[in-house]
């Protein structure tokens, strides 16, 4: 067997993040009397992505991200929100209350159970991610979950993975494979941690990077073949 442990990214690898994001955003905006169209949802998604990239680089804190992305959106669209804290709270609740699978991710995880250990590694908000994974039935399949809020540093920072390996003291890095859709978070994180990387690229997007990519897949089912060698 080539790998004994898999670190799975969650959003856009196991679960469809845009699906949950659109639901949560529209629901929260409707509560303050705003009807979000497709263009607004897409603009929010771009703003949100930029904030998460800044978090990955250590330029902003998670607390700044949580409200800053909405402040940027509201400023662009002239939206008035009297209680930003409540808006953000409701958004995280709605975001963690609905899910849609990427491909047949639960079946892929189940097919690997007993063959290797599997852990989720995510930058999301703790309650949101745990609740969403619980509803999706992933928590009962996975061997554990590591969330940046609890570790104290986000992917791709080495400190995140140092925190993970401190909790998995019996795991050797050469036995670990990280699987994810993000070059800047998952693949760079894997490089920083000194572990093998698997880039999930279902749309076969073209990219230019100096990062080490050990494996590239377009279907989650390919992971089993990689693990078994």
210 is catalytic: no
Neighbours of 210 (CB within 10 A): 6
CB atoms within 10 A of CB 138: 24
Residue 75, both tokens: 């400023």
Among 141, 126, 116, 183, CA closest to 14 = 141
Residue 11's Cβ-side half-sphere holds a number of Cα atoms within 13 Å equal to 22
Virtual torsion, Cα 52, 77, 80, 48, nearest 10 deg: -10
**Count of Cβ atoms closer than 10 Å to residue 14 Cβ:** 29
Catalytic residue among 9, 11, 16, 181: 9
In sequence order, which residues have a C-beta less than 8 Å from that of residue 61 and are 6 or more positions away?
Answer: 55
| Residues identified as active-site | 9
């Amino acid at each position: 067997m080539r790998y004994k442990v898999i670190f799975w990214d969650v959003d856009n690898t196991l679960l469809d993040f845009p699906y949950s994001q659109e639901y949560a955003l529209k629901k929260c905006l409707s509560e303050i009397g705003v009807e979000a169209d497709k263009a607004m949802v897409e603009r929010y998604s771009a703003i949100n992505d930029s904030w998460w990239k800044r978090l990955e680089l250590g330029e902003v804190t998670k607390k700044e991200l949580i409200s800053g992305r909405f402040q940027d959106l509201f400023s662009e669209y002239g939206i008035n929100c009297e209680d930003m804290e409540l808006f953000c709270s409701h958004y995280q609740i709605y975001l963690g209350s609905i899910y849609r699978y990427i491909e047949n991710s639960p079946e892929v995880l189940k097919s690997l159970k007993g063959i290797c250990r599997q852990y989720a590694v995510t930058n999301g908000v703790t309650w949101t991610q745990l609740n969403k994974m619980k509803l999706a039935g992933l928590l009962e399949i996975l061997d554990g979950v590591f969330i940046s809020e609890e570790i104290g540093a986000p992917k791709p920072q080495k400190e995140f993975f140092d925190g993970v390996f401190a909790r998995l003291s019996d795991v050797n890095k050469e036995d670990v494979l990280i699987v994810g859709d993000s070059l800047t978070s998952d693949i760079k994180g894997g490089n920083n941690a000194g572990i093998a990387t698997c880039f999930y690229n279902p749309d076969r997007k073209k990219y230019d990077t100096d990062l080490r990519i050990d494996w590239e897949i377009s279907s989650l089912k390919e992971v089993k073949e990689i693990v078994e060698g």
